[in-house]
Structure formats: C-alpha cells, structure tokens
Structure 1
Amino acid sequence: MSYKKAGQRASSNLSIALGAVAAASITFVPASADAQSSVTLYGIADIGIEHINNTAAGGAQTREVSGNLSGSRWGMKGVEDLGGGMKAIFVLESGFNLNDGTSAQSTRGLGAGATTTTRLFGRQAWVGLSFKDQQLTFGRQNSLLYEQAVVFDPMGASSRYSSLSVDYAMAGRIDNSAKYTGWFGPLTAQAMYSTRYDTGYGSEVPGAQLTGRFFSGALTYATGPFAASVSYEQRNSNTVATNTDTERRATAAATYVFGPVKGFAGYRYLRASNAFLPASPINVANGSEANAANLYWAGAQYNVTPSFNLTATAYYQDVHSTSADPWLAVLCADYLLSKRTDVYATAAFARNTNGSALGVNGYGTVAPGYNQTGVVVGMRQKF
C-alpha cells in the first residue's frame, strides 16, 4: 500500500487500517523547513490474552500475545517538498513483541541456505520520490499481495486469525525492492521488482541472476461502494542450484458496501515448485501438500454503531491432489474507546480433514487431523 493511500484508508475504515501505516499524532518540523516538510513518529501497541486447544505440542495453551489485530510497531515517516509537485518521502518501521520487548522481525529465512538476519526496521525501510499521482520507492517494502490483502481480506490480514494464517505471503515483505505506484482516477496501478527478496539467504549471487528474484504487479479499481483488485507475484528459489524453480501467486478480490455492511470475496491461486516445499509438506507455511492450492474467502463487516463493529469471515484452502482441505472461520468484535484506543474479542475455529494441519495461527500449529479453537481478548493503542 502506498505511503499516501495508507493514511487515507486508515482514517476511513478501522479494519482496513489494521495492516496500513498508523495515523500519527506527533510531528517534528525543523524551524528552517518549509511548512510542507515534516517527520512524523507513529506506532501501534496491541496485546491480548489467547487461549487455544489441540496445540502441535498437545493439550491447550493460555498465553499473553503481542500483535493480534495489528502487529505492534513504531516508526517514522517523512516528506520533504522539493517544489514543482515533487516530494521526497521515507518510512522506517520497526515491529516488536509488546509482551517481552523483543524485535518481531529479528530473523528471517527458512530451509536450505537460510541465515540469521537482524532487522532493526523489519516491517518497512524505504525512501523514494513522489510526483503528483506517481510514486517510486526503494528498500524493504510490503509486497503488493500484502497490500491487496489488507484491503480485501475482511480481517485485514491481521496477525492472527486471518488469511495470513492460511498463507504466509499475505503479509510478505520484500528486501532490495523497487516499487512503482500510479493513481489514474479510480484505477491504481502498481509494479514491484527485487534483486533478492529475502536477505535471510544472503545477498545477490554473482553469476546467478535468477537466484532470489521477485516481481509483481497489481491493479485496483475503486468507485462509489465498489472496489476490486487483481494481483500477481513470482518468487524464484533462493538456492542457486534450483533458482529456476518458482512460487507463483495470483489474487482476485472485491468489496461492496451496503449501508452499514461491507461484503468481501476473494480468491488466491498458488503454484509452487518442489524447491519451495519442505521435507514434511503438511507443515509448509503456504499450506500446500502438493504443488498447487486454491484459497477462497468471503465475509462481511457490520458497523453496528460508529464505535462498534462486527466482522465474520471464512477461508477455505483447496489443496490439489489431496483431500486434506481445511476451513478457518473467524468472528471478531471491536469497540472503540476513542479514536486511538479500542478493545476487541476474536474467536476462530479451524476444521481439518484427512490429516491437514491448519491451526488458527497457521499451518503446523495444531496436531495433524485435529480441529482447533482459539480465542483472543485484547486492546490496541495507536499513537
């Protein structure tokens, strides 16, 4: 989601804003700077108590967890007016675990070739230029699929109990990336390219240009009560020996507002080469026990009052060449104590069939073949 658009969506819809940049309340402006230049400090602190049953280790668990409706974070964003409609922009955003103060993105990289990577600004770290309705940015950025999920998933790709539980890429962040966004009336066009999308596997490899490459594109159309999007992304394997193997996703989704109710529907296509599948496929983060899977979701948000809303949604993963096709159903109640503070309760139920292992918090978090119920009660403060 773009720097400019994220703030607009956050102010207009609380649930959509779950994965967007938080609206900030503290601004520092140098005395010598132009009135249009500023640096803003912002953040979200989200914590709750979760209870889940049938864990992967066996039995039930009650724990304090950080980042439920929104990942806890702090960050800085800035804009400098360069004149003639040109602006320099940046975002530095760090995720953290509120329950113990540790970094939420300190390491990344799974499987062969993975390394430990320390990330101070693990959520976002980018700089760029904007000119009228065009924007070009460089650095570690949210993937286009993530930006689509924030808007078109009823749960806003929240940290728990959302499309992110079914597919890790719904909250993808891409290292070494360049991103273009253009606004053309009701149509938004985006393109993204990375020379090495996950530095948890090291830097770019000389003589192996395909290793760790990433590219993506998205179109979003919004007018009146209707909005729709399509997106595509492709990742090449991070291992030199298998760098022609790919993981490809495409999405199509739409929303429509009927008075106080907003309806959602979406589809995600997935095709993954063997290089992206672990030795125990049932625990693979993308949920595919084979090389292909389709994800469907539908749901609604109901604004009962300006301060209270309900969200209900269901996700179904159809894994090809197997009958291990799980469901995830979610119900969330959110009450605003003020513009910056809310309390919430979220309940989810994951139904597994024929040995599938989808838990409410993702694949591999439940005993294979068992159903799982999870409940979180918490509060969120934005600053």
Structure 2
Amino acid sequence: MPDRSALRGWPVWLGLSALAGAAQAQGSSVTVYGVADAYLTGIWGGAGSITQLQSGGLSGSRLGFRGREDLGGGLYANFVLETGLNMDDGTYGQGAVFGRQSFVGVGSTSLGAVTLGRQYTGFWHVTDEFSEFSNSGNGPSSAVIGGFGGYEPVRGSLDSGTGNGGPARLNNAVKYESPVWAGFRFGMQGGFGEVVDDASGNRVLDAYARYAQGPVDIAAAYVDDRGGSVLPDAARRSYIVAAAYSFGNLKVRGAYLEVDDRSSFNQDGSGWWVGADYRLGTSLVKIQYVVNAPSYVSDAHTQGIGLGYEYSLSRRTTLYTSVSYFKNDVNAGLGRASFTIPSGLTTTADNDLTQWVGGMRFTF
C-alpha cells in the first residue's frame, strides 16, 4: 500500500503552484525581504558604565512581505506587511506583529498612489534620510532631538515614543503620494481617530514635499496631531526642513526641526543637526553634530557629536562602528540620547555620556 499521508499535501501544493504561475503570468510578484542588524555598545557616564547588545544600529531589524500586480494601462495594486524584530532577544518590535508597516493600495505611474493602513509619515522619512546616523541608536542621530515632544501617534494617541521630534507611523491612515515630476514629488496622509460622533477627533495629518535633482536634495514636512476630545494632551504640531548636497564622493546634509506643543504641557522646543559623509570604495566615513533645545525648561540642552565608519563586505553585509559624545545640561535628563539609558550612569553634576558602537547588518 502506498503511504497516503505523504500525498495529502500535494493537491494544496499543486493548487498554490498553479496560482503562483497564473499570478506571474499576469505580472504579479511577491517578495520576502528583511534586515538583520545587531550591535554591541558601551556607554560611559559620570557615575558608571554599561555594555549592551542591541538591535538595529544602522537599520531596524525586520521581516517583510511586499507584493505588486500589474493591472494594465499603467495601473498597479500593491501591499506591504512588515514586522519589526529585536535581534537581541527575538521579540517583536513596535509591540505588534506587523508594527513597522501594513498597508494595501492602488497606483498609477502617471497619477500617483493611494494606500490604506499603518504607514510611515513623510516627517519620519525626512528625519531618517537627511541624518548621517538615521533614527537609530548608533551615534548622535536625529532621535536625539524631540525629547520634548517625540511620540508616535496611533489613532492620534501617544505610542512608545520614537524620540525623533515627530511621529514615525500612523495607524488607520489614508495616504496619497504623487509621481515624480522633474525631481519634485509630494505626499499627504490622514490617520483617522475613530472617535464616535467626532470625525476629526484624535486625527493626525501629515504632509511633505521634496525636490531631488542632481546633487541637490531639499525636503520639508509637517505633522498636526489634533489630540481632540479623547486625548487633548496629544495635541502637537511638528515642522522640519532639510537639505543635502553632493560634491562627488562627499555629501553634506542637515535639518532644522521644531515642535509646537499645544497641550497643557506646552513642551515646545527645536533642534537641528548637520553632518557629512565621504565614500571611498567599500568604506564610508561620516560625522554629525546634533543640538536639542527645549524651550519650556532652562538648562536642558543636549549637544552630540559622533564619528562613524562603515565597511561593506558585500552588497548585503556591512560592518559599522562609531564613537559619540553627548554633552547634557543639568536639566537635560536621560531622554536626550538616541538610545535607552539605564539609571545609574549619570549624576546631577555630570550628565555627559560617551558611547561606542560596533555592529553588523545583513540585508536580504
């Protein structure tokens, strides 16, 4: 007698194979992709030091699924499901299975695209792409700015803060992004607050514009978190302008960010950074200086400067390291650096911190 248990999966497998073949024939594709990024870091303060293994020094670790189908006539449908991963302990990031991104949409090569779901804001892209150290814990990143108003709205509420002076992602969002016209493009989205009998309650609006042509790259973004009837203390507006210019292998970039806190906390403030990088073959050297300046409390500024180095072992594998110094005023607190700092590292008289990072990123 043949082993029928070995054949039970064949009808399903053959069916899936046929569907996959049909999808490919219609111009469809589904891609599995990801990032595995882990780093070792040492942090020294006025009262002590600590060594940690962390996740996401260059890029947040993730596993994602991306699909696209050609609908004909320049139209297409697409989706993204992306989960954050913590390489140090194997847990999910962002507190959700697909907490990084989860959206579906339709687009046109000539008219732009509309997508629905949890999505990155234009504000986040500016803080990430115009910073030498991105939004990560590696170096004096843009995440240093915004200890006075860094947050990530979910239905207009406060989520686990991103620390970059504005929201990274919106839930319940409808987003439109234009095609590129002679280097110019723009986008806007709204995150529904889903409040009963209050269509605008707790809603979040986000918009950006960007021009990139040749060596010039300029961007601006705006986020308005209304707060509303459920969470009035979430009401904030954030603004950012940024620019970059390439001189051959040398690239210079910087940005200015401002937060207008309209809640009862009134935690207004601003910040800026400037940096540069130089590529020589498989090596990249970068430097950045960051300032965080809350205006609602005195003696609370942070200044950070860092030097980083990346070496590409291959197209997918990168080694990286950095050394950074953070000068924190007496009232700056521990939330002014781009990483989670355990208690006991600083004193009232000495809030300054030094950080070393060494890590590896693999992309697939």
Root mean square deviation, CA, Å: 2.2
Which of 261, 271, 277 aligns to 2:250? It is 261
Q: Is the CA contact (8 Å cut-off) linking 2:116 and 2:175 kept in structure 1?
A: yes
Which of 337, 340, 345 aligns to 2:316? It is 340
Cα-to-partner distance string for 1:100-142 (whole Å, 9 max, x where unaligned): 1101111xxxxxxxxxxxx110000000011014011110001
1:249 Cα deviation from its structure 2 partner: 0.6
- Report matched runs for 1:1-383 at 5 Å: 30-33=20-23, 34=25, 36-54=27-45, 59-106=48-95, 119-133=96-110, 134-161=112-139, 162-167=141-146, 168-169=163-164, 172-182=168-178, 183-196=180-193, 204-237=194-227, 240=230, 242=232, 246-275=235-264, 277=265, 291-303=267-279, 305-321=280-296, 322-357=298-333, 358-362=335-339, 367=346, 370-383=351-364
Q: Is the CA contact (8 Å cut-off) linking 2:117 and 2:171 kept in structure 1?
A: yes
Cα-to-partner distance string for 1:282-314 (whole Å, 9 max, x where unaligned): xxxxxxxx53111111010110x2210011001
Classify the secondary structure of the residue corresponding to 1:32.
Answer: helix
Relative to structure 1, is the Cα distance of residues 360 and 374 closer, same or farther in structure 2, using a 3 angstrom cutoff?
farther
Unpaired segments ≥5 residues, structure 1? 1-28, 107-118, 197-203, 278-289
Classify the secondary structure of the residue corresponding to 1:31.
Answer: helix
1:165 Cα deviation from its structure 2 partner: 3.0
Q: Which amino acid aligns with 2:263?
A: N
Q: How many residues align?
A: 320
Report sequence identity in percent.
29
Classify the secondary structure of the residue corresponding to 1:150.
Answer: helix
Q: What is the TM-score normalised by the length of structure 1?
A: 0.78
Q: Compare 177-186 and 72-81 and name the one that shifted more.
A: 177-186
Once residues 83 and 349 of structure 1 are traced to their aligned partners in structure 2, the CA distance between those partners, rounded to angstroms, is 54
Relative to structure 1, is the Cα distance of residues 180 and 360 closer, same or farther in structure 2, using a 3 angstrom cutoff?
same
Once residues 35 and 241 of structure 1 are traced to their aligned partners in structure 2, the CA distance between those partners, rounded to angstroms, is 47
1:158 Cα deviation from its structure 2 partner: 2.7
Q: Which amino acid aligns with 2:183?
A: P
Q: Compare 369-378 and 350-359 and name the one that shifted more.
A: 350-359
Unpaired segments ≥5 residues, structure 2? 1-18, 147-162
Q: Show the counterpart of 1:114.
A: none
Q: Show the counterpart of 2:151.
A: none
1:326 Cα deviation from its structure 2 partner: 1.0
1:238 Cα deviation from its structure 2 partner: 6.7
Classify the secondary structure of the residue corresponding to 2:40.
Answer: strand
Q: Which has the larger radius of gyration?
A: 2
